Structure 1
Amino acid sequence: KFAVLDGAFATELEALGININDPLWSALALIDKEDMIAKVHLSYLKAGADIITSSSYQATVSGFMKKNISKERAVDLIAKSVRIAKQARDSFIKTEDFLNSERAVPQVAASLGPYGAYLADGSEYRGDYKAGFDDLKSFHKERIEIISKEKPDLYALETVPVLSEALAVSELLNEMNLQTPMWISFSCCDGEHISDGTGISECGRKLDALENVAAVGINCTQPKYIESLVKNLRAVTRKAIIVYPNSGEQYDPVTKTWSGSSEEFLSSVMKWYAAGANIIGGCCRTTPADIKKIASMAAL
């Protein structure tokens, strides 16, 4: 019915006992926890993911250098994020789990977090960037140059709060003559708009005209908004639509605890598919158990 994307990365690293309370977030694990990163990738592959995403969302050369890591090592850590994911995939497809199934070989998407994720100030949920179009291109260029040498199957530009950033990265890939397809997913504030207030329909129309954008969608957004957002996108684009919302649990910043469950998320999956979603996975607080349930729905 639809392809299955993996789920949250940081949540799983924390479940393995890794503290990632840091501006680098889950990219912190690239420094000395690559075995744990591989473990998370494998858990999602076993759960049924058709696409896994590298741990490079918050990984930038300047971000690593702020940790007193040399530029050369920072470059290697970013490249390593894709290598670890590809190695996990390559080892998984030799297992009985995979060989006894009728699954296609899973794909590896290189995660490109937005400019706001590098700032680590929450602006990927507001879109109040001070950076201009060319600034956004130069920000993304360094990381894409590093990652492209590792030959991922896809690029994933994620949690994008402003349309200009999506257009900047698409233009950049063309200038770099990179043929690898990319999906672009926006962070959204309601059922009609991305984080900076631009209509999701306008975003869908603009991206529909871009050849190097294979899919467009929504991530890191409340599940209750997804059905409406997908319908708005499907009305303006023929491209694949990808959705991977947050679990739907609520975070209390005072007690620093989460409440609620992913039940609303899971009960809505088939509505998203019916509305036009072609690829479905999870973002913050979703787990391999959630992805396994989504994979079982895809197989019905």
Structure 2
Amino acid sequence: MKKHSILPIILDGGMGRELERIGAPFQQPEWSAHALIEAPHFVSKVHHNFIDAGAEIITTNTYALVPFHLGEKRFNEQGADLIKLAAKLARDCVDDNAKSSNKQHKNRSSSVLVAGCIPPVLGSYRPDLFSLQQAKPLLDALISNQQSDVDFWLAETISSIAEAAMIKTRTALTNKTTWIAFTVKDEITTESKLRSGESVFDAVSEIAGDNVSAILFNCSAVEVMEAALKNAQQALLAQGLADKVQLGVYANNFPPIGELREANSDEGISIIRDDVSPEKYRQFVSTWINAGASIVGGCCGVSPAHIKKLAELK
């Protein structure tokens, strides 16, 4: 097995599909929030599954805790408590893992961190739905209700520069570092673009730096990530940030997602590809590391079995 000069940081994989796989309550439009509402012990089980597979960072199960998935009424009534619960479950899993590690290996502490998930608060893959006025109170609820239990922020599946800029500004007030993960169009091209149509080069140029210490790409097909990384690397070099901002990738295991596709649409739950096995995914990850990624993991449909293969790269 090829060893890389860069030892990557290993993220976890997709929460929703792992919940479905282990038999947790799972349905649209609630997605991963359904288990949190009805059977939160399943959420803890998923966190432990990824930690056991080798993940060094687990992400709070807050992605679907927005009106887009919960509905306005439930969000207004239960949103704050559900966000707090999701963050506490992740923190408890990390604390449990640390205690277990210390018992088995005296004086060795756990290195697992908790990333506070910040989703696209008005809808995934739909930059056309973004409104600063509508998004800001939802973002602030996600921040205030989980910040005491998370180590840093991970904004996921962000489709536009405008939403990333809002997140950068609001999270800067918390004194916690922020990682922003953009989702890019599932088109094989040398000039990678966000789902808004804005170029990756422009997005990274505007967002990287200050409290944003890492730029990642997630919830897009494995085949399009290398180009996004190369464009991001060019932008960091142009801004003089290549040694200050990390790059990362955690792709999904879905077929290409088309224009105007909503995450909880009537088109149903996306199918999992049968041509991206854990071994095949690791091969893609190796190319990302060679292209400059120092943070790798998985998004929707990427299982603990996939993450276990990535941990072998260490």
Q: Give the TM-score category using the shorter length.
A: 0.7 to 0.9
Relative distance call for 1:261 and 1:74 in structure 2 (3 A) is: same
Deviation, structure 1 residue 28:
1.8
Deviation, structure 1 residue 134:
3.5
CA distance in 1, matches of 2:61, 2:271: 24
Deviation, structure 1 residue 32:
2.4
Relative distance call for 1:178 and 1:115 in structure 2 (3 A) is: same
Unaligned runs of 5+ in 1: 118-123
Q: Among 257, 269, 276, which residue is 1:262 paired with?
A: 276
Deviation, structure 1 residue 99:
4.6
Decide whether the 8 Å contact of 1:250 with 1:260 is kept in 2. no
Q: Could you say which residue in structure 1 is the equivalent of 2:132? A: 133
Give TM-score, length-normalised by structure 1: 0.86
Amino acid at match of 2:275: S
Q: Could you say which residue in structure 2 is the equivalent of 1:188? A: 184
SS in 2 for 1:158: strand
Q: Could you say which residue in structure 1 is the equivalent of 2:4? A: none
Q: Residues 233-272 of structure 1 correspond to what in structure 2 (within 5 A)?
A: 233-237=232-236, 238=242, 239-247=245-253, 257-263=271-277, 264-272=280-288
Relative distance call for 1:13 and 1:258 in structure 2 (3 A) is: same
SS in 2 for 1:261: coil
Q: Could you say which residue in structure 1 is the equivalent of 2:97? A: 92
Q: Among 293, 298, 306, which residue is 1:290 paired with?
A: 306
Amino acid at match of 2:276: S
SS in 2 for 1:75: helix
Decide whether the 8 Å contact of 2:91 with 2:149 is kept in 1. no
Residue 170 of structure 2 corresponds to residue 172 of structure 1: yes
Deviation, structure 1 residue 151:
3.3
Residues 83-141 of structure 1, C-alpha deviations (whole Å, 9 max, x = no match): 00010111112225995497851100111110243xxxxxx224212x43333323311
CA distance in 2, matches of 1:258, 1:87: 30
Q: Among 20, 23, 45, which residue is 2:51 paired with?
A: 45
Aligned residue pairs total: 285
Decide whether the 8 Å contact of 2:222 with 2:252 is kept in 1. yes
Unaligned runs of 5+ in 2: 1-6, 237-241, 258-266
CA distance in 1, matches of 2:254, 2:282: 10
Q: Could you say which residue in structure 1 is the equivalent of 2:261? A: none
Decide whether the 8 Å contact of 1:248 with 1:265 is kept in 2. no
RMSD after superposition: 2.6
Q: Could you say which residue in structure 1 is the equivalent of 2:262? A: none
Deviation, structure 1 residue 65:
6.4
Q: Could you say which residue in structure 2 is the equivalent of 1:275? A: 291
Q: Could you say which residue in structure 2 is the equivalent of 1:79? A: 84
Amino acid at match of 2:150: P
